[in-house]
Amino acid sequence: MTATVLFVCTGNYYRSRYAEHFFNEHARQRKLDWKASSRGLQPSLENLGCMSRHALDRLRKHGFGPRKPVRLPMDLQASDLMAAALTIAMNEIEHRPLMAARFPEWEECVRYWRMYDLDLADAESGLAAIENAVLALLDELSAL
């Protein structure tokens, strides 16, 4: 049975979406029985389009884009948390308080990374950091 890692960020537009697609491509290449999905704690209607152009451009730069039609950002639900074998919030300082407010029973069940949004890191370095963290996670999951 395929296990799911759930990536969570604020808007489900940039960081978590990039991690989802990057993870899925590399998990497929490694033939791992894992898949990724992503959600947001506060999806915004202010975002332009379905997914950040920075994330889409970087995926294409690596030679792969989203494998399925790009969907709109999705709001995190308790059912998403229950279905995931592992949940990773992209930035502890930003997302732990949102988890505590919306899903207090899940706050301590989440693994927190330190991936910064575009207000604190440029897209090049921010997405590279996500790639490194995802590749390390894939190594960890491969060893299980």
pLDDT > 70 fraction of the chain, expressed in percent and rounded:
97
**pLDDT value at position 49?**
76
- Using CB atoms within 10 A of its CB, is residue 76 exposed (0-12), middle (13-18) or buried (19+)? buried
Give the pLDDT confidence of 6-28 residue by residue, as tens digits.
999 999 999 999 999 999 999 99
**pLDDT value at position 68?**
67
**pLDDT value at position 76?**
98
- Strand segments, DSSP code E, in 56-125 are 86-89, 111-112
DSSP state of 31: T
- Asked if residue 40 has pLDDT above 90, the reply is yes
- Asked if residue 95 has pLDDT above 80, the reply is yes
Closest among 64, 30, 58, 40 to 140, alpha carbons compared: 30
Give the pLDDT confidence of 41-93 residue by residue, as tens digits.
998 767 777 899 999 999 999 998 776 668 899 999 999 999 999 999 999 99
Contact 121, 129 (CB under 8 A): yes
Rounded Cα gap, residues 27 and 44, in angstroms: 29
**pLDDT value at position 45?**
66
The CATH class of 3-143 is alpha beta
- Asked if residue 31 has pLDDT above 80, the reply is yes
